[in-house]
Amino acid sequence: MRRVQQHFGVPWRWTVPGVPRRFLLLACTMSVLAACTIGNRLYLSGELARPAGARKAPAAPPQAVVLDFAYVAEEPGVVGRDFDSVRPIEWKGDPGKAMADLVAGVLGEGGVAVVRAAAETPSLDNVPIRISGNLRRFEVNARRRGGVKIVTEATVALSVTASGGSLSSPLSIGTTISNSDEGVFVTPEGARDVLFASANAAAEEAARRLLDAGVLAPAPSGR
């Protein structure tokens, strides 16, 4: 059977009345790309850490031990969704441990001598303050808005509890930080940067509130 290429002497083309041909080509291309990404996964690389060149903790007897923060993921390794491409966003790191590292790092930058320990580690006799935490949210999601614009938004919600030392009862504080970025496509680098920025901002806010509450104070050598 021979494919018909003409109709009434007019060459056959992909046309829809009232719709520009360039728009149809763009729509077809985007549809093909979306179909190819369905079922794929977006992987975020890198380790969650403080910015390069950050101040180091003072060399002094530790005031506090920061334990691994509790964190329960809905899906192991999944930290969000790229809704437009119908795929999960994954990161191989441990959010609970990484956020505890960040809070300890920020406290050290503020002149507070701290140590890190696993959650199951008993209180250290020579460390007066025990800091634990609960990471309630650690996620980054991408959604299409307004046609071609895609918004990538990350939210980190953290509760931190300090106990021991001169505190008559545990002191708990909570903070929630969100950041977003816009673009035409979702990239691993873009999603990672937004998520890590939110995590660092949440750690900075938690540490600041602990210092403002007088729970911890900079060591004399850290001033």
| Residue labelled with tokens 């614009």 | 149
Residue 61 in domain: yes
Dist. CA 148–CA 162, nearest whole Å: 46
Residue 141 in domain: yes
Q: What is the CATH classification number for the domain harbouring 50?
A: 3.40.50
Dig out the tokens for 188 from the structure: 């691993």
How much is the pTM? 0.79
Residue 4 in domain: no
Structural domains in the chain (count): 1
Residue 108 in domain: yes
Per-residue model confidence (pLDDT) at position 3: 42
CA distances (Å), 75 to each of 43, 47, 154, in order?
14, 19, 17
188-217: b or e for each residue (b if 16 or more CB lie within 10 Å)? eebbbbbbbbbbbbbbbbbbeebbeeebbe
Residue 216 in domain: yes
Residue 129 in domain: yes
Per-residue model confidence (pLDDT) at position 217: 87
Per-residue model confidence (pLDDT) at position 20: 58
Q: What radius of gyration do the chain's Cα atoms show?
A: 25
Q: What is the 3-state secondary structure (H, E, C) of the chain?
A: CCCCCEECCEECCCCECCECHHHHHHHHHHHHHHHHHCCCCEEECCCCCCCCCCCCCCCCCCCEEEECCECCCCCCCEEEEECCCCEEEEECCCHHHHHHHHHHHHHHHCCCCEEEECCCCCCCCCCCEEEEEEEEEEEEEEEEECCCEEEEEEEEEEEEEEEECCCCCCEEEEEEEEEEEEECCCCHHHHHHHHHHHHHHHHHHHHHHHHHCCCCCCCHHHC
Residue 27 in domain: no
Residue 150 in domain: yes
Per-residue model confidence (pLDDT) at position 75: 93
**Domain that includes residue 188, residue range:** 41-222
Q: pLDDT tens for the chain, 223 residues: list them.
A: 444 333 334 343 444 455 555 544 544 444 444 443 445 999 999 999 998 877 777 788 899 999 999 999 989 999 999 998 999 999 999 999 999 999 999 999 999 999 999 987 766 778 899 999 999 999 999 999 887 899 999 999 999 999 998 899 999 999 999 999 999 999 999 999 999 999 999 999 999 999 999 988 888 754 4
* Beta bridge mates, 159: 134, 174
